Structure 1
Amino acid sequence: MPVWHWYLGAANQTGEAKWISTVTPLDIELPKVALIGLGVMGQRMLKNMPQHGYFWPSTAWDPSSDACESARKLHPDLIITTNPAAAINNSDVDMVYIATPPKSHGKYALMAAKAGKAVYCEKPLGTDSVDSRILVEKMTLMGARAIVNFSLASAPAVNALQSAINDGSAGTVNSVDILLHFGRWPRDWQQSAKWLNKRAEGGFTRETFSHYAYLTQRLFGKIDLLRASTIYPTDDTCAETHAMALMDCTGIPIKFNGGTGGIANSGADRIEYIVWGSKKVYKLYNWNQLSSSDGRGWVRHLKNIADTRVAGYFSTLDNVREFFRGEHHSMPSLDDALKIQDLVESILVGGDK
C-alpha cells in the first residue's frame, strides 16, 4: 500500500499540487476509496485524490471497458472489479465515491451505506423526487454517513463571495442572475457521456444550473420557484434546449436564463452568477473566477491563487477529509441535495414538452 508524504496546506491555496520531500513521511495507511463510475468525473477524482494526498483510490467499477482502460493508465494500482457490488463491499474500502449517471446514484448510495461505508455521491441524488425522498429517509434511519458533491461548495471564489456578502462589502443584495449558454450540449469534454443529452437523466439544468441553485441556497436560504418555462426538441428523448425560471429566496429575486445552440464548440460558453448588491456587483464566472465592480470598472479577485480550478478541487477534498474524520466541513448533505433536486425537476416540467 503506497504511503505518501503529506502536502503542506499552503500548496492548496496557490492551486499547486506539490509533494514536500523534506517532510518526514508518516507511516500510516490512507483511507481507501472505491470509485463507482469512471467517466469524466470519476477519472477527475481518480487523478485528484492521489495529488491531494489524503485518500487512496483502491478499487473501481465501470461498465465501459474503454473507461476502465483509461483509468488504469491514470492509476496503474487501481483494482477494477467485474461488478459494482464487489468494489463497494471490498473489506478494505472505507468510502465509496459514486459518479455514474443519475438514475443509479440512489441504488449505489444505499448499497454503500448498508455495507457501512462513508458515501460521497455526485449530484443529483436521482431524477425522481419521490424516490430520492425515500432514499434520504432510509439512509437517515440507517445513520448513514453521506455527502453530495456540488462543485461550488468549497471553491475559493465562493468563499470570497460569501465573505463579501456577510461583511457588508456588497451592500444590500437586490437580486441574483444565473446566466448559462452552451454552444453545444454536451460540452466538448463531455461528448462521451451520451446520457447528458437525454431528457431522462441529462440536460444543462440538472448538470450545471443545479450547482448554482445550491450556491444560492447556501448564500441566501430557501428557494421558492415562482414560474418556469422550458423548451424541448420535437423528439421525445433529447434534453431541454432552453430554460428560464424566476425564483424568490428570502425576498431576493433570483433569475435563471439558460440555453444551447450557436457555434458547435464550447469555446464561447457563458457561465455567470451575478450578485447585484447596493455597494458592489459580484460576478462569479467560468466556475472559479470572481470579479467585482462599484461602477468604475471590474476588479479581479483571487490573483494570489495560481490556478483557482485546481485550488477548488483540493479545497473540496479538504472538506471531504473533514467529513470523513467526523469534523466540521462545508460539503452538502443529502437534505441539501434533495431540495435542489426538487427545484430542478420542477423547472424541467415547467414548459412545453
Structure 2
Amino acid sequence: MANGPVRLGIIGCGIMGERIVRATLAHDPALIRLTALWDPDPAARARLGAGLPDLPFVDDADDVIDRAETVYIASPPAAHLEHARAALAARRAVFTEKPLGVSLEESRDFRDMAGKAERPAAVNFILASAPSVDSVRAWIEQGVVGRPERLEIYARFAQWPRDWQMDAAGWLAKRQEGGFTREVISHFLFLARRFAGPLELQSARAVFPRGDGAETAVEAELTAGGLPLRLTGDVGVIDHADHNLWVLHGSNGSVRIRDWSLAERLMPDGRWAGDPDAPGHAEARPLILKRQVEKLAAMTRGAPHDLASVGEALNVQTVVEGILASG
C-alpha cells in the first residue's frame, strides 16, 4: 500500500471538475493532493485557473494518468469510458462522473474490465454522501416507515439546462449525451437501488422536441428490489429553477428527500416535518463533496467505502437509456 497523500488527477474543468478541485484543495493535504489537471478546452482551463492560481495543469489526459494514482473523470459523458479504460489499464484507481457512459455495450464491457482490474473503480453519485440520506436511513431503522410499500420520484425544471449549467449546454441540452433524466433523475434512481435493490423498467414514455434536443418530459413505472416505483419529470411547467422529490411510503408512514438536501417525514396531522439536526442546503453541498473526496481516498488505499459501484451505475444507466429509448 502506498504511503503519503493520495495523488489525485482530474480530467475535466467544468462544473463538477471545479467542485472536486475546490473540495480537494480545501482538504487535509496529508490525505489527498491534487497532482494533475487537464481539460481539452483552453477557455475552461483559463476560467478555472483565474480563480485558483498555481493549479497543476498538464498537457493532456495521458499526463494526468501518469502523474496520479487515482483519476477523477469529469468530462462530458461520451468520453467517460475512454479515459476510465486508459486509467485502469495504467493501474490507476478510477472515479468517474455519472452516467457511466452513453453506450450500454461499452458500459457492460467496462464493468467486466473493472471486475478484473488491479485497481478499484467507482462512480460519482452524490447521494452516496448526502446528510439528507443519513436522516432518511435513520428514520427507516427507527421503524418510521415500517414495511416499505412503494417509491416515487419527481423532477421538475423551469428550463433545461438550468442557468448555472449554460456553459455546458452544448452537450447537456442534446439528446445524445444530455437531458435531465441522465443528469438528475439518475441520482434518485441510484438512491432507490441503494435502499431497495436492483432496478427493472416496466414501462416508460419520453417526450422529445423536434431535432436533437434533450427530453422535455418522462414518465416511467419501475421496480426496485421488487418495490413499485413511479417516476415523472418535466421541463417548463414550474417557474423556479428546479424541484425534486424522492419519496418512500411504507406500512407505518412516509419519508422523503426534497430538493436534494431536505429530509422530511410525514407526521400524523399530514404535515411534512424536517430533521432539525440536518444541515441546511448551503451547508450540505460542501459536506457532500468533502465526504466524497474522503471516500475516494479510502477507495484508492483499499479501505472500506460506500461510493457507487460500477455495477450500480450500470443498472441505473440501463434503466435511464430504456426510458429515453421510449421517446
Report the TM-score, using the length of structure 2 for normalisation. 0.92
**Aligned mate of 1:127, from 88, 93, 102:** 102
Residue segments in structure 2 that go unaligned for 5+ positions in a row: none
Aligned to 1:183: 158
Aligned to 2:242: 269
CA change 1:222–1:262 in 2 (3 A) is closer
Select between 172-181 and 77-86 the one with higher mean Cα deviation: 77-86
Distance between the aligned counterparts of 2:278 and 2:148, measured in 1? 27
Q: Secondary structure at the match of 2:273?
A: strand
Distance between the aligned counterparts of 2:134 and 2:231, measured in 1? 22
Aligned to 1:299: 273
Report the TM-score, using the length of structure 1 for normalisation. 0.86
Aligned AA for 2:307? M
% identity of equivalent residues = 32
Q: Does 1:202 align with 2:178?
A: yes
Aligned AA for 2:202? L
| Shift of residue 268, structure 1, vs aligned partner | 4.2
**Aligned mate of 2:259, from 278, 281, 286:** 286
Distance between the aligned counterparts of 1:262 and 1:228, measured in 2? 20
| Shift of residue 262, structure 1, vs aligned partner | 4.3
Aligned to 1:102: 77
Distance between the aligned counterparts of 1:311 and 1:280, measured in 2? 29
Q: Does 1:214 align with 2:190?
A: yes
Q: Does 1:230 align with 2:206?
A: yes
Aligned to 2:118: 143
CA change 1:190–1:158 in 2 (3 A) is same
RMSD of aligned C-alpha atoms? 1.7
| Shift of residue 118, structure 1, vs aligned partner | 1.1
Distance between the aligned counterparts of 2:89 and 2:164, measured in 1? 34
1:61–1:83 contact (8 Å) kept in structure 2: yes
Q: Secondary structure at the match of 2:26?
A: helix
Residue segments in structure 1 that go unaligned for 5+ positions in a row: 1-27
Aligned AA for 2:36? T
| Shift of residue 228, structure 1, vs aligned partner | 0.2
CA change 1:114–1:328 in 2 (3 A) is same
**Aligned mate of 2:36, from 59, 83, 91:** 59
| Shift of residue 63, structure 1, vs aligned partner | 1.5
| Shift of residue 332, structure 1, vs aligned partner | 1.1
| Shift of residue 251, structure 1, vs aligned partner | 3.3
Q: Secondary structure at the match of 1:171?
A: coil
1:176–1:275 contact (8 Å) kept in structure 2: yes
Aligned to 1:73: 50
Aligned length: 319
**Aligned mate of 2:286, from 296, 310, 314:** 310
| Shift of residue 81, structure 1, vs aligned partner | 2.0
1:244–1:258 contact (8 Å) kept in structure 2: yes
2:159–2:241 contact (8 Å) kept in structure 1: no
Aligned AA for 1:332? A
Q: Secondary structure at the match of 1:177?
A: strand
Aligned AA for 1:293? L
**Structure 1 stretches of 4+ moved >3 Å:** none
| Shift of residue 341, structure 1, vs aligned partner | 0.8
Aligned to 2:63: 86
